[in-house]
Structure 1
Amino acid sequence: MGSDSRERMVRSAAYLFRERGYSGTGFRDVIAHSGAPRGSIYHHFPEGKAQLAEEAVRYAGEFLNAGIVAATEGGDAASAVDAFVGWWRQVLIRSGFRAGCPVLAVTVECHDDAPQLTAATAAVFGRWEDTLATGLGNAGVPDGRAASLARLIVAAVEGATVLCRAHRDVRPLDDVVAELKAMTRAAAEGA
């Protein structure tokens, strides 16, 4: 029961959380989706579902953060918005608007019995904000403005993703992106 099996289960959990949420995803679902051996889930995640979810949140966070880092290297403020949004747009369309953000899915559920999940999701959102703020700063947006604009980008895109799922249409995301790109360009130009 190697690390490949563990990695598949983490990726599968993140994938399933996008559509079913934390509460709607069970160990059986993760085993079936990942193709991992039945007994491996408790071997790799002895602390249970919360441990698996925490790792899935981190995985999803790092996956998206890598895309943001790559896109912001060009020094264009609007590309930071495109980087954060492009992948979500594809996910929404390909899933028939059934899938959203696995980090948001875990965040919105109550975790009194697993406070580490709240900490993990906060860390991911914070990392995305920091990465976006750095990219915006490199594009000429003043530091204080870059941090608040980065938080707005994360909040607006997450909210727009929810609206897209509700309306089964990408227009809410497209509208939010257009406004965010205009704001980032203006902020970079000092307007």
Structure 2
Amino acid sequence: MARSTRESILTAAAELMRHRGYAGVGMKDIAEASGAPIGSLYHHFRGGKVEIAREALTNAGHAYGLLIPAVVDGYDDLGAAVEGIFAQAAEDMAQTGFANMCPVASVAGEIADTVEELRTATRDVFTAWIDGGTAYFVSRGLGRTMGRQVTLAIVGALEGAFLLARAMRDAEPLLAAGATMAPQFRGIALVPPAHVGGATRSVAT
């Protein structure tokens, strides 16, 4: 099914910000990358670049938020799952020429003190990741406090290691983070994932 013009604009904006950040992307760049006339950008997004960036980050954040459960579903040991997350991230970074960094983190660090609308958008994405990750790990048998701590540790370490890996053009920071974190969680069992209608169902009371 063909994407709508609006979807094409948001997809193009997210991809551009992933590589260049927010300041490095102009409306002309988004128009060229999406194949939409520049007037169409303002037709769909009257708030201009900030509105496009906000919605693109929200959409991208939802997609990125599904990645950790997608990897962890295949594991029954938390330590092995953590190592698997970082190994998969390292492989993805290497395969994309070290460009596969989340646009949400790229923009968050850049505009935290300058564009309040985008700061709150990135905050909301991170909050959704943390809440979603916590619920996921609870559904796999962890207590809520531990599930939240594990999620925060994974997300924080991933984002920092992504930055180092991209700057160094080397997957070592991601592999090192996984190898260092994994032993702390080795031996903690994960119950089989429960899925209802394609979404993970929490089994916590």
Q: Note if 1:42 corresponds to 2:42.
A: yes
Post-superposition shift, 1:184? 3.5
Q: Note if 1:179 corresponds to 2:177.
A: no
- After TM superposition, the structure 1 stretch with the greater mean CA deviation from structure 2, 153-162 or 101-110, is 101-110
Is the CA contact (8 Å cut-off) linking 1:136 and 1:188 kept in structure 2? no
**Distance change (3 Å), C-alpha of 1:50 and 1:81:** farther
Query: Which of the pair is proportionally richer in helix?
Result: 1
Matching residue's letter, 1:133: T
- 5+ residue gaps, structure 2, are 191-205
Is the CA contact (8 Å cut-off) linking 1:75 and 1:135 kept in structure 2? no
Is the CA contact (8 Å cut-off) linking 1:149 and 1:184 kept in structure 2? no
Is the CA contact (8 Å cut-off) linking 2:18 and 2:103 kept in structure 1? yes
Post-superposition shift, 1:81? 6.6
Q: Match of 1:54?
A: 54
Matches within 5 A, 1:143-154: 143-154=144-155
Is the CA contact (8 Å cut-off) linking 2:64 and 2:102 kept in structure 1? no
Matches within 5 A, 1:1-191: 4-73=4-73, 76=76, 77=78, 78-79=80-81, 82=84, 86=88, 88-110=89-111, 114-186=115-187, 188=189
d(CA) in 1 for partners of 2:151 and 2:109? 21
RMSD: 2.6
**Distance change (3 Å), C-alpha of 1:85 and 1:147:** farther
**Distance change (3 Å), C-alpha of 1:79 and 1:174:** same
With normalisation by structure 1, the TM-score equals: 0.84
d(CA) in 2 for partners of 1:56 and 1:115? 16
Is the CA contact (8 Å cut-off) linking 1:81 and 1:153 kept in structure 2? no
d(CA) in 1 for partners of 2:178 and 2:113? 34
**Distance change (3 Å), C-alpha of 1:90 and 1:57:** farther
Is the CA contact (8 Å cut-off) linking 1:72 and 1:132 kept in structure 2? no
Question: Identity of counterpart residues, as a percentage?
Answer: 36
d(CA) in 1 for partners of 2:176 and 2:127? 24
**Distance change (3 Å), C-alpha of 1:167 and 1:36:** same
- What is the CA deviation profile of residues 41-100 of structure 1, one whole-angstrom value per residue up to 9, with x for unaligned ones? 1011101111001111111111112333444556743446745873x4354223322342
d(CA) in 2 for partners of 1:85 and 1:123? 27
Post-superposition shift, 1:130? 1.7
d(CA) in 2 for partners of 1:95 and 1:70? 19
d(CA) in 2 for partners of 1:42 and 1:147? 40
**Distance change (3 Å), C-alpha of 1:55 and 1:103:** same
Post-superposition shift, 1:160? 0.1
Aligned residue for 1:109, secondary structure, equals: helix
Aligned residue for 1:96, secondary structure, equals: coil
